[in-house]
Structure 1
Amino acid sequence: MSFTAPPPHLTRPDLRGSFGMVASTHWIASASAQAVLERGGNAFDAAVAGAFVLHVVEPHLNGPGGDMTAVFATAADPASPIVLAGQGPAPAGATIERYRAEGLELVPGSGALAAAVPGAVDAWLMLLRDHGTWRLGEVLAFAIGYALDGHPVLDRVCATISGVADLFRDHWPTSAERWMPGGRPPAPGQMVRSTVYGSMLQELASAGETGTREEGIDAARARWRERVGAAASEFVGDPHRHSDGADHAGVITAADVQAFSASYEPAMTVRFRGHTIAKTGAWGQGPVLLQALAILDGLEDDRLDPSTELGAHTVLEALKLALADRDVWYGEDADPAVLAHLLSPGYAAERRSLIGESASREVRPGEVPGHVRPSLPPLREAYAGPAAGSVGEPTVPADAAEDGLETDALGRTRGDTCHIDVVDRWGNIVSATPSGGWLQSSPEIPALGFCLGTRLQMTWLDEASPSRLRPGARPRTTLTPTLVLRDGEPVMALGSPGGDQQDQWQLLMLLRVLVGGHTPQQAIDAPALHTTSMPGSFWPRTWTPAGAVVEGRLGDDVIAGLVARGHAVTRSGDWSLGRLSAVTRDPSSGWLGAAANPRGAQGYAVGR
Structure 2
Amino acid sequence: MFTTRPTLQGTFGMVSSTHWLASQSAMAVLEDGGNAFDAAVAAAFVLHVVEPHLNGPGGDVVMILAPTGREPVVLCGQGPAPAGATIEHYTGLGLEIVPGTGPLAAAIPGAFDAWLTLLRDQGTKSLSEVLAYAIGYAEKGHPVVDRVGMTVEAVRELFETEWTTSAELYLPHGKAPAPGSLLKNPALAATWRRVIREAEAAGSGREAQIDAARRAWREGFVAEALAAHAALPTMDTSGERHSGTMTGDDLAAWSATYEQPVTYDWNGWTVAKAGPWSQGPVFLQQLALLPTETPEYGTAEYVHTLVEGAKLALADREAWYGDAQDVPVGELLADEYNEARRALIAGTASASLRPGRPGGREPRLSEHARKAAQGALPREAAAAGVGEPTVERDGATRGDTCHLDVVDRWGNMIAATPSGGWLQSNPVVPSLGFPLGTRLQMAWLEPGLPNSLTPGRRPRTTLTPSLASRGGTPVMAFGTPGGDQQDQWSLHFFLAVAARPHVRGGLDLQGAIDAPNWHTDSFPGSFYPRGMQPRSLAVESRIGQEVIAELRRRGHEVTVKEPWSLGRLCAVARDPETGVVSAAANPREMQGYATGR
Common fold by TM > 0.5: yes
Pairing 1:253–2:243 present: no
1:228 positional shift: 2.6
1:384 positional shift: 5.5
The match for 1:351 is 341
Aligned residues of 2:385 and 2:521 also touching (Cα < 8 A): no
1:467 positional shift: 0.2
Superposed CA offset, 1:128-168 (max 9, x none): 00000011111111111111111011110000000000000
Secondary structure, counterpart of 1:434 in structure 2: strand
Aligned residues of 1:94 and 1:251 also touching (Cα < 8 A): yes
The match for 2:484 is 500
Pairing 1:478–2:472 present: no
The match for 1:589 is 578
Instruction: Supply the AA of the counterpart residue of 1:36.
Output: V
Count of matched residue positions in the alignment of Structure 1 and Structure 2: 583
The match for 1:230 is 224
Q: How does 1:185-334 map to 2 (within 5 A)?
A: 185-209=176-200, 210-225=203-218, 226-296=220-290, 298-302=291-295, 305=297, 307-334=298-325
Pairing 1:116–2:107 present: yes
Percent of aligned positions with the same letter in both sequences?
54
Worse overlay, 241-250 or 23-32: 241-250
Worse overlay, 203-212 or 28-37: 203-212
Aligned residues of 1:494 and 1:582 also touching (Cα < 8 A): yes
The match for 1:59 is 52
Secondary structure, counterpart of 2:151 in structure 1: helix
Aligned residues of 1:379 and 1:543 also touching (Cα < 8 A): no
Of 443, 451, 467, the residue aligned with 1:459 is 443
1:203 positional shift: 1.6
1:299 positional shift: 2.8
Of 545, 550, 553, the residue aligned with 1:561 is 550
Instruction: Supply the AA of the counterpart residue of 2:417.
Output: T
The match for 1:543 is 532
1:205 positional shift: 2.0
Distance 1:525 1:433 in 2: 20
The match for 2:541 is 552
1:227 positional shift: 2.2
Instruction: Supply the AA of the counterpart residue of 1:537.
Output: S
Distance 1:132 1:405 in 2: 33
Instruction: Supply the AA of the counterpart residue of 1:99.
Output: Y
Instruction: Supply the AA of the counterpart residue of 1:406.
Output: T
Aligned residues of 2:522 and 2:536 also touching (Cα < 8 A): yes
1:96 positional shift: 0.5
Pairing 1:148–2:118 present: no
1:395 positional shift: 9.2
Of 430, 449, 459, the residue aligned with 2:414 is 430
Instruction: Supply the AA of the counterpart residue of 2:522.
Output: S
Pairing 1:361–2:351 present: yes
Distance 2:222 2:281 in 1: 32
Pairing 1:379–2:371 present: yes
Worse overlay, 54-63 or 545-554: 545-554
Secondary structure, counterpart of 1:533 in structure 2: coil
The match for 2:165 is 174
Distance 1:205 1:52 in 2: 14
TM-score (norm 2): 0.95
Q: How does 1:8-87 map to 2 (within 5 A)?
A: 8-77=1-70, 80-87=71-78
Instruction: Supply the AA of the counterpart residue of 2:209.
Output: G
Superposed CA offset, 1:525-547 (max 9, x none): 01000010000000000000111
Secondary structure, counterpart of 1:378 in structure 2: helix
1:374 positional shift: 1.8
Distance 2:197 2:265 in 1: 45
Q: How does 1:513-524 map to 2 (within 5 A)?
A: 513-517=497-501, 519-524=508-513
Structure 1 residue runs of 4+, over 6 Å off?
Answer: none
1:447 positional shift: 1.6
Aligned residues of 1:66 and 1:436 also touching (Cα < 8 A): yes
Distance 1:484 1:410 in 2: 39
The match for 2:495 is 511
Distance 1:21 1:384 in 2: 45
Instruction: Supply the AA of the counterpart residue of 1:359.
Output: A
Secondary structure, counterpart of 1:379 in structure 2: helix
1:235 positional shift: 1.7
Superposed CA offset, 1:293-342 (max 9, x none): 0111x331325x2x210000000000000000000100013425x11100
Of 513, 517, 522, the residue aligned with 1:528 is 517
Secondary structure, counterpart of 2:72 in structure 1: strand
Q: How does 1:159-170 map to 2 (within 5 A)?
A: 159-170=150-161
Distance 1:96 1:22 in 2: 42
Instruction: Supply the AA of the counterpart residue of 2:320.
Output: W
Superposed CA offset, 1:389-423 (max 9, x none): xxx9x998xxxx6xx43000000000110100000
Distance 2:210 2:389 in 1: 33
Of 83, 88, 98, the residue aligned with 1:92 is 83
Instruction: Supply the AA of the counterpart residue of 1:328.
Output: A
Instruction: Supply the AA of the counterpart residue of 2:334.
Output: S
Instruction: Supply the AA of the counterpart residue of 1:128.
Output: L
The match for 1:415 is 399
Of 440, 443, 447, the residue aligned with 2:424 is 440
Of 132, 138, 142, the residue aligned with 2:129 is 138
1:76 positional shift: 3.5
Aligned residues of 1:549 and 1:569 also touching (Cα < 8 A): yes
Distance 2:361 2:324 in 1: 14
Distance 1:467 1:378 in 2: 15
Decide whether aligned partners of structure 1 residues 395 and 213 sit closer, same or farther in structure 2, where only a CA change above 3 A counts.
Answer: closer
Instruction: Supply the AA of the counterpart residue of 2:88.
Output: E
1:211 positional shift: 3.1
Distance 1:82 1:67 in 2: 17
1:601 positional shift: 0.2
Q: Can you give the 5+ residue segments of structure 2 that lack an aligned partner in the other structure?
A: 503-507
Aligned residues of 1:416 and 1:498 also touching (Cα < 8 A): yes
Q: Can you give the 5+ residue segments of structure 1 that lack an aligned partner in the other structure?
A: 1-7
TM-score (norm 1): 0.94
1:379 positional shift: 3.3
Pairing 1:339–2:346 present: no
